[in-house]
């Protein structure tokens, strides 16, 4: 039997991350789905099981926090020992600090944003890179350019820093791999966006399932 293509999604329990996991599983991929929210992962697993996928397409649930470097290092080692490679890494994991003026910025929210959005990304890239090289795979980062917008201080600055890491990695690996891709998703009616824009008319927004399909169709897989 042909080995399945293997994807790691860090931040897969809800929103676009969950939709990407569902779409990949439906296309016959095996997805290692990482998230802190156990209930969200179990709901994702239930939805994938209803697809009645034959053979390899499916999930491995990994309920853990991306800021726990020991746990993530152990996961990457387990992926290496079981499959020996990754074909795709998608990194939607993000901490969304409450919107606030800079004069009222909460230090704990800022530190959590740095830990999740910046520090964890910087730690994960060296862990995942060898697996992607072994699979001649690709990494996908999801941009949300809010840096410098009013009230988006903690989120905007740390999200911009995360993408800056991705762009450096992208530039460094053009000739040697892995491929690093950065895309800006369309506005979607997610819980994250609802925190930014409460009361917004959500009817014109793109469903995460449709956006996941569009993004995956862009990838050179």
Does residue 175 belong to any structural domain of this protein?
yes
| Cβ–Cβ < 8 Å for 221, 87 | yes
Q: How far apart are CA 92 and CA 97, in angstroms?
A: 15
Does residue 29 belong to any structural domain of this protein?
yes
Does residue 1 belong to any structural domain of this protein?
no
What's 96's domain CATH number?
Answer: 3.40.50.720
Q: Which residues neighbour 113 within 8 Å (Cβ) at sequence distance 6 or greater?
A: 95, 97, 154, 155, 157, 158
Q: What is the DSSP string of 56-73?
A: T-EEEEEE--TT-HHHHH
What is the structure's pLDDT at 181?
98
Does residue 219 belong to any structural domain of this protein?
no
pLDDT grade for 221, boundaries at 50, 70 and 90: confident
The helix/strand count (H/E) of the chain reads as 8, 6
The pTM of the full predicted model, rounded to 2 decimals, is: 0.95
Residue located via tokens 């795979």: 137
Handedness of CA 163, 184, 221, 94 (dihedral sign): positive
Does residue 77 belong to any structural domain of this protein?
yes
Residue located via tokens 């003026």: 101
Q: How many domains, the chain?
A: 1
Instruction: Tell how far CA 77 is from the center of its chain.
Output: 19
- Digit-coded pLDDT (tens) for 148-194: 999 999 999 999 999 999 999 999 999 999 999 999 999 999 988 99
Does residue 140 belong to any structural domain of this protein?
yes
Range of the domain at 199: 6-212
Does residue 221 belong to any structural domain of this protein?
no
């Amino acid at each position: 039997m042909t080995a399945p293509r293997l994807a790691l999604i860090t931040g897969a329990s809800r929103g676009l991350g969950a939709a990407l996991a569902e779409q990949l599983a439906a296309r016959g991929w095996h997805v290692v789905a990482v998230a802190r929210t156990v209930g969200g992962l179990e709901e994702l697993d239930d939805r994938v099981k209803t697809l009645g996928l034959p053979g390899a397409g499916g999930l491995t649930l990994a309920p853990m926090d991306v800021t726990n470097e020991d746990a993530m290092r152990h996961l990457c080692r387990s992926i290496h020992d079981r499959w020996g490679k990754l074909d795709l890494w998608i990194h939607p994991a993000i901490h969304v600090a409450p919107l606030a003026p800079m004069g009222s910025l909460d230090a704990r929210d800022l530190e959590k944003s740095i830990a999740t959005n910046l520090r964890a990304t910087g730690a994960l890239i060296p862990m995942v890179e060898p697996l992607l090289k072994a699979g001649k795979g690709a990494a996908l980062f999801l941009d949300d350019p809010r840096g410098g917008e009013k009230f988006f201080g903690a989120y905007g600055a740390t999200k911009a820093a995360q993408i800056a890491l991705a762009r450096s990695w992208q530039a460094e690996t053009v000739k040697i791999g892995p491929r690093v891709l950065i895309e800006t998703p369309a506005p979607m009616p997610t819980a994250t966006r609802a925190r930014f824009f409460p009361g917004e008319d959500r009817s014109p927004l793109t469903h995460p399932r449709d956006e996941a399909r569009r993004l995956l169709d862009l990838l050179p897989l």
